[in-house]
Structure 1
Amino acid sequence: MSDIEVRIADWQKDNADLRRIRETVFVAEQSVPPELEWDADDTDAVHFLALESGYPVGTARLLSDGHIGRVSVLRDWRGMNVGDALMKAAIEEAERRGLDEQRLTAQVHATPFYERLGFEVISDEFLEAGLPHVEMLRKRN
């Protein structure tokens, strides 16, 4: 496997790749209703695209309030540190923008992944799109 490159994506130019990844992961695999996956925040968010040998394999987004979300990696690339690379890029960009706290809504099964990146659970478990989630917070050291 080649090194994973993460770059800031252009919502317009990279839209087909961003949509393909998120639809595959959230809508097809996790049965998230499409109307819950796409929202008005997409147009103003900073989007990240992870590429392996130029092929888009993962995505995430950062909102202006420091909320990181829509972290998704295609099945064949899971376990290859793509999620780590996406999250590190999002955290770095948030801090570059002066956002010293980052928040996210994590699926419960993914909390250990986010905890390794410095996030702490700050809520009780709740359902979002029919899946168990928790709110998490990371503060800049």
Structure 2
Amino acid sequence: MVQIKLAASEAELEDVYRIRKKVFVDEQGVSEQEEYDEHETTASHVLAYYEGTPAGTGRIRLLDGIAKLERICVLPEYRKYGVGAAITSALEQQGKQLGAAKAKLHGQTHAERFYAKLGYETVSDVFLEADIPHVIMTKKL
């Protein structure tokens, strides 16, 4: 069972950063300088738990009235349990609460089908971000 909560405490934020380090830095080779940016303190972070264990995370920022979903990731051992979809849904709900009518994300191309199944449409050509192919995807909320 997947539970999502807003990461508020220092311990929860440490779990967020630990998960992102394992997925983006260790697994995908993104530099820590690129992974952790100036938006860490202003973005809202969510933490996903699978059967009580921290399993994934994501963050959201409101940019020009659009909910920008970022840093969505799931630890390898928890993929295929619906954790990524639950994180995305929770971030979309938060976007709606912030007044956004549209969500946008930079999805890695290997995850493009995953986001398409959640209702996202690709609106850009492939581009590199942290040396990883991405596309911009949007969805009406």
Any gaps of 5 or more consecutive residues in structure 2? none
Report the CA distance between 1:116 and its aligned residue: 1.2
Alpha-carbon displacement from aligned partner over 1:63-90 (angstroms, at most 9, x marks no partner)? 1221001001000000110001000100
Q: How many residues align?
A: 138
The 5 A counterparts of 1:1-141 are 3-10=1-8, 12-65=10-63, 66-140=67-141
Any gaps of 5 or more consecutive residues in structure 1? none
Q: Give the partner amino acid of 1:46.
A: S
Q: Percent identity?
A: 38
Counterpart CA distance in 2 for 1:23 and 1:130 is 16
Could you state the TM-score of these two structures normalised by the residue count of structure 1? 0.94
Report the CA distance between 1:15 and its aligned residue: 2.0
Counterpart CA distance in 2 for 1:64 and 1:12 is 23
Could you state the TM-score of these two structures normalised by the residue count of structure 2? 0.94
Alpha-carbon displacement from aligned partner over 1:38-72 (angstroms, at most 9, x marks no partner)? 01111011111001232111000001221001001
Report runs of 4+ in structure 1 exceeding 3 Å deviation.
Answer: none
Are the equivalent residues in 2 in contact too, given 1:126–1:134 (CA < 8 A)? yes
CA RMSD of aligned residues (A): 1.1
Report the CA distance between 1:12 and its aligned residue: 3.5
> What SS does the aligned partner of 2:62 have?
coil
